[in-house]
């Protein structure tokens, strides 16, 4: 009996969670003539015309490419800088280590919205407005703290004797990082790559701020094109949203197991 | 190969000094065992030789080179860890050949050396396995193999047998001793188990509270302990220490008698007591005997004795084997 009640509650929650996505897919596939039907009506004669329109006329092919470049570079570079910093924090002794740790902690505490203006000025002073590099630098700087902590907690679970054995074997710190520690840090690497990719893919604020030219826009900013002050292109917005969501959903499904393992890494030995 | 020399070596963490004024000369090819209770500094001393702990005072010489400031890789040493510390993502062969690959040796040379070490340690069939697929004993042999392939000047072993079960431990103990005889490399071995120390060492270094208590051959330490601590630490079951009238009778503050140095029989100058516990080990029988004015005395007899709990026995320490200590725990020389 208790099990059925639990299943029912879980079912209701699942429907609530999934329904916006399903309604969006329904709307994106409906011909304009069917838009008068309530949103929960499935499309009677589904069409991909809105997708084609959004992809070509709406500029989504360009936005998709921009988003992909920024997100992929973000994810890859983040793995390197966060893991290298965490490696130094966990395995090396150096002057100012404490101060650095406190700085990373402060980095975790400051909300992005509080520093958008100075960030904008910094990026502009480097001449990086409307460039992929500008957004990438800002993304990395803002998120590096959390990933340093994630890698640190993972590395702390690596037996110290492994690091010492490698030193005795004659490895340099970088060789230990590359050949001993990183190969066993796959869960942390996958989690970092996925999370950073997702955050970068979905972020609106920084892209809105740092990418003002149309050809440099990303998907999240591109979606705003379908929403005017008075009107709203519902089918365009839905199709664009689905285009934006597909890679994320696929990635998560593909790496789900690694991802969950990485999130809990360090929780128990 | 090279010897190791420690000159006035000390180690401090902040203001707390944990090793004091260590002087020791380890000859080329010698097998030296550091032994002592937990926290005595034996592992720290080994790690200082390895370069994993900084030397904060004195000089450390490996061969004729001052090694205080050399990194572990510059010292040409190999170390076997208590926890094995094998690289989990690498196969046995890769683990053993890792140091050689870092030195950019040719693939053929690495394969040859790994194969030789694997043959010597009977690891041939496991070369393509990962450490997770091996038993504890096999992992320990891989850890030893990883050290062997480098042909280091000095071999350091930090309690390498403590994670093994009793049978495997004595087997591996023999293997390590044979290995030392074959390789003739300087070996420094840390253990808290005095049986390992006695059976393997050319010389034993007994440490206590960050000081060296005594350095000597196993039998030297057994026969002529320099302090009461060494007398109690070396030998199993441990030496009985008796104060009071029995000690006074021989002119000592403390009288030390090893369990195997008692005779049972009637006569003058015997200690009368009641058996409180009997441990029959087959070859030996250990009796725990409560002796008035002496406390519980441990006596080791050959296995054929038939005393029972509650029996009254008369003990006689063999006079030629008794140890007399003064108030400071130093031996009284006749």
Average pLDDT over chain A, rounded to an integer:
90
DSSP, res B154? E
Partner-chain residue, chosen from B85, B98, B146, that has the shortest CB–CB distance to A161: B85
Mean pLDDT of B72-93: 93
Q: Kindly tell me if the per-residue pLDDT of A107 is higher than 80.
A: yes
Q: Report the residue of chain A nearest B73, measured CA to CA.
A: A170
Q: In the structure encoding, which two tokens stand for residue A83, read together?
A: 């893991």
Set of chain A residues whose Cβ sits within 8 Å of the Cβ of B85: 159, 161-162, 164-165
Handedness of CA A258, A262, A266, A267 (dihedral sign): negative
For chain A, the residues whose C-beta falls within 8 A of a C-beta of chain B are 159, 161-162, 164-172, 175, 179-180, 183-184
Contact B102 A180 (CB under 8 A): no
Identify the CA nearest to B127 among candidates B117, A180, B136.
Answer: B117
Confidence of residue A166 (pLDDT cuts 50, 70, 90): very high
**A171 vs B102: CB contact, 8 Å cut-off?**
yes
- Inter-chain CB proximity A161 and B103 less than 8 Å: no
Q: Please give the pLDDT value at position B162.
A: 87
- Picking from A159, A161, A169, the nearest residue to B98 by CB comes out as A169
CB–CB contacts below 8 A, A to B: 56
Distance separating alpha carbons of residues A156 and A86, to the nearest angstrom: 9
Distance from CA of B89 to the nearest CA of A (A): 7
CB contact under 8 A, A164 and B85: yes
DSSP A172-186: -HHHIIIIIIGGG-H
| 8 A C-beta contact, residue B327 and residue B259 | no
CB contact under 8 A, A170 and B73: yes
pLDDT of A20: 92
Report chain B's mean pLDDT, rounded to a whole number.
92
Using the predicted structure, report yes or no on whether residue A62 has a pLDDT greater than 70.
Answer: yes
B245 SS3 class:
helix
Pairing of strands B57-62, B65-66: antiparallel
DSSP string, B32-87: EEEE-STTSSHHHHHHHHHTSS---EEEEEETTEE-TT--HHHHTEEEE-TT----
With an 8 Å Cβ cutoff, are A159 and B85 in contact? yes
Q: What separation, in Å, do the N-terminal and C-terminal C-alpha atoms of chain B show?
A: 42
A165·B78 Cβ contact <8 A: no
- Which among B309, B273, B278 has a CA at the least distance from the CA of B292? B273
The pLDDT score that the predictor gives to residue B1 is 65
pLDDT (tens digit per residue) in B10-25: 999 999 999 999 999 9
Provide mean pLDDT across the span A197-205.
94
3-state secondary structure B16-37: EEEEEEEEEEECCCCEEEEECC
More confident residue, A225 or A137: A137
Instruction: Label residue A65 by pLDDT band (50, 70, 90).
Output: very high
Q: How confident is the model at residue B305 (pLDDT cuts 50, 70, 90)?
A: confident
How many alpha carbons lie under 13 Å from residue A166 in its C-beta half-sphere? Answer: 21
Q: Which residues of B touch A183 (CB under 8 A)?
A: 89
Is the preceding omega at residue B10 within 30 degrees of 0, hence cis?
no
- Nearest chain A CA: its distance from B53 CA (Å): 10
pLDDT digits (tens, 9 = 90+) for A23-34: 999 999 999 888
**B321-333 tens-digit pLDDT:** 999 999 999 999 7
Judge: B98–A162 Cβ closer than 8 Å, yes or no. no
Taking any CB pair shorter than 8 Å as contact, residues of chain B touching chain A are 50-52, 71-73, 77-79, 81-83, 85-89, 98-99, 102-103, 146, 150
What are the two backbone dihedrals, phi and then psi, of residue A200, each rounded to the nearest 5 degrees? -65, -40
pLDDT (average), residues A163-189:
94
Retrieve residue B264's tokens: 């049972």
Q: State the sign of the Cα–Cα–Cα–Cα dihedral B256, B259, B261, B265.
A: positive
A159 Cα to chain B: minimum distance (Å): 8
In terms of CA atoms, which chain A residue is nearest residue B151?
A: A169
How far is A231 from A223, CA to CA, in rounded Å? 14
Predicted pLDDT of residue A252: 84
pLDDT tens profile B220-241: 999 999 999 999 999 989 999 9
Cβ neighbours of B29 (radius 10 Å): 15
Which pLDDT band holds residue A264 (cuts at 50, 70, 90)?
Answer: low
Q: Which residue of B has its CA nearest to A163?
A: B85
Q: Of the candidates A142, A124, A108, A96, which has an alpha carbon nearest to the alpha carbon of residue A212?
A: A124
Task: Determine the 3-state secondary structure of B247 from DSSP.
Answer: helix
A232 secondary structure, DSSP code: B
From residue B138, alpha-carbon distances to A29, A75, A95, B131, B161 in Å are 62, 40, 41, 9, 12
Helix (H) or strand (E) holding A260: helix A234-264
Q: Measured between alpha carbons, how far is B325 from B304 in angstroms, rounded to an integer?
A: 33
Is residue B137 over pLDDT 90? no
- 10 Å CB burial of residue B232 (0-12, 13-18, 19+) is middle
pLDDT at residue A126 above 50? yes
Write the pLDDT tens digit of every residue in B166-199: 888 888 899 899 989 988 899 999 999 988 999 9
Give the best-scoring range by mean pLDDT among A78-82, B134-138, B246-250: A78-82
**Are the CB atoms for B290 and B216 separated by under 8 Å?**
no
pLDDT of residue A268: 38
SS3 category, B137: helix
Chain A residues whose beta carbon lies within 8 Å of the beta carbon of residue B98: 166, 169, 171, 179
How far is it, in rounded angstroms, from Cα B139 to Cα B122?
A: 12
Instruction: Write the pLDDT tens digit of every residue in A31-52.
Output: 988 888 888 899 999 999 999 9
Smallest CA–CA distance, residue B71 to chain A, in Å, is: 8
Tell whether the model's pLDDT for residue A202 goes beyond 70: yes
Q: How far is CA A24 from CA A15, A28, A39, A225, in A?
A: 14, 6, 8, 17
Answer yes or no: is pLDDT of B131 > 60. Answer: yes
Beta bridge partners of B289: B275, B297
Pairwise CA distance, residues B4 & B7, whole Å: 10
Distance from CA of B167 to the nearest CA of A (A): 26
- Model-level pTM? 0.82
- Using CA coordinates, name the residue in chain B closest to A180: B87
Q: Give the span between the Cα atoms of A202 and A208, in whole angstroms.
A: 12
Cβ separation of A167 and B146 shorter than 8 Å? no
CB of B10 closer than 8 Å to CB of B57: yes
Predicted local confidence at residue A259, as pLDDT: 67
The lowest-confidence range among A107-111, A225-229, B100-104 is A225-229
DSSP state string for A37-76: S-TTSPPSS---HHHHHHHHTT-HHHHHHHHHHHHHHHHH
A198 to chain B, closest Cα gap in Å: 29
Is the pLDDT score of A262 beyond 80?
Answer: no
Nearest residue of A to residue B149 by CA position?
A169
pLDDT at residue B257, rounded to an integer: 96
Mutation site, B67, B85, B91, B140, interface A, largest A CB count within 10 A: B85
CB atoms within 10 A of CB B259: 20
pLDDT mean over A235-247:
93
At B69 the three-state DSSP class reads coil
pLDDT of residue A4: 93
Residue A260 has pLDDT above 70, yes or no: no
Contact between A71 and A251 under an 8 Å Cβ cutoff? The reply is no
Number of Cβ atoms within 10 Å of the Cβ of A14? 10
| Confidence class for position A75, pLDDT limits 50, 70, 90 | very high
- Are the beta carbons of B72 and A175 separated by less than 8 Å? no
A166–B73 C-beta distance less than 8 A: no
pLDDT the model gives residue A180: 94
| Chain CA centroid to CA A107, Å | 18
- Which stretches within B103-189 are classed as H helix? 107-120, 136-148, 166-183
Pull the structure tokens for residue B320. 């030629």
């Amino acid at each position: 009996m208790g099990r059925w009640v639990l299943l029912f509650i879980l079912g209701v929650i699942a429907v609530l969670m999934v329904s916006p996505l399903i309604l969006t897919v329904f709307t994106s596939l409906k011909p304009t003539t069917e838009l008068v039907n309530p949103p929960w009506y499935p499309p009677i004669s589904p069409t991909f015309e809105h997708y084609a329109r959004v992809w070509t006329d709406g500029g989504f092919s360009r936005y998709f490419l921009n988003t992909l470049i920024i997100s992929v570079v973000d994810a890859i570079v983040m793995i390197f800088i966060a893991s290298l910093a965490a490696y130094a924090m966990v395995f090396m002794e150096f002057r100012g280590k404490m101060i650095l740790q406190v700085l990373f902690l402060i980095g975790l505490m400051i909300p992005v919205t509080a520093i958008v203006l100075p960030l904008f000025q910094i990026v502009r002073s480097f001449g990086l407005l409307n460039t992929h590099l500008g957004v990438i630098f800002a993304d990395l700087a803002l998120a590096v703290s959390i990933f340093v902590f994630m890698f640190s907690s993972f590395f702390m679970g690596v037996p110290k004797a492994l690091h010492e054995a490698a030193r005795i074997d004659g490895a340099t710190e970088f060789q230990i990082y590359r050949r001993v520690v990183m190969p066993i840090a796959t869960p942390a690497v996958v989690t970092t790559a996925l999370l950073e990719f997702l955050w970068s893919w979905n972020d609106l604020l920084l892209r809105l701020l740092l990418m003002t030219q149309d050809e440099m826009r990303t998907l999240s900013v591109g979606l705003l094109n379908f929403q005017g002050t008075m009107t709203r292109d519902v089918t365009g917005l839905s199709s664009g949203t689905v285009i934006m969501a597909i890679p994320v959903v696929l990635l998560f499904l593909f790496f789900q197991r690694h991802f969950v393992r990485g999130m809990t890494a360090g929780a128990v030995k | 190969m090279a010897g190791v020399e420690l000159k006035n070596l000390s180690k401090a963490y902040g203001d707390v000094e944990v090793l004091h004024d260590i002087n020791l000369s380890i000859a080329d090819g010698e097998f030296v065992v550091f032994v002592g209770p937990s926290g005595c500094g034996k592992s720290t001393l080994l790690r200082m030789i390895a370069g994993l702990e900084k030397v904060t005072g004195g000089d450390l010489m490996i061969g004729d080179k001052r090694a205080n400031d050399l990194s572990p890789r510059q010292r040409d040493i190999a170390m076997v860890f208590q926890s094995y510390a094998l690289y989990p993502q690498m196969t046995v062969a890769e683990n053993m050949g890792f140091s050689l690959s870092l030195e950019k040796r040719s693939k053929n040379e690495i394969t040859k050396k790994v194969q030789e070490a694997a043959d010597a340690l009977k690891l041939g069939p496991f070369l393509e396995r990962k450490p997770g697929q091996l038993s504890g004993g096999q992992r320990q042999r891989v850890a030893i193999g990883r050290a062997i392939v480098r042909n280091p000047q000095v071999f350091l072993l930090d309690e390498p047998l403590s994670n093994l079960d009793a049978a495997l431990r004595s087997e591996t103990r023999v293997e390590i001793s044979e290995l030392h005889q074959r390789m003739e490399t300087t070996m420094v071995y840390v253990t808290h188990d005095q049986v390992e120390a006695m059976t393997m060492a050319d010389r034993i270094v007994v440490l206590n509270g960050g000081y060296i208590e005594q350095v000597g051959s196993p039998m030297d330490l057994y026969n002529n302990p320099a302090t009461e601590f060494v007398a109690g630490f070396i030998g199993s079951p441990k030496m009985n220490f008796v104060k009071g009238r029995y000690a006074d009778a021989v002119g000592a503050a403390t009288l030390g008698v090893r369990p195997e140095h008692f005779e049972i029989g009637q006569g003058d100058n015997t200690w009368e007591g009641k058996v409180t516990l009997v441990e029959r080990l087959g070859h030996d029988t250990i009796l725990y005997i409560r002796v008035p004015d002496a406390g519980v005395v441990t006596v080791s007899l050959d296995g054929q004795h038939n005393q029972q709990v509650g029996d009254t026995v008369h003990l006689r320490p063999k006079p030629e084997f008794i140890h007399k200590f003064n108030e400071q725990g130093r031996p009284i020389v006749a």
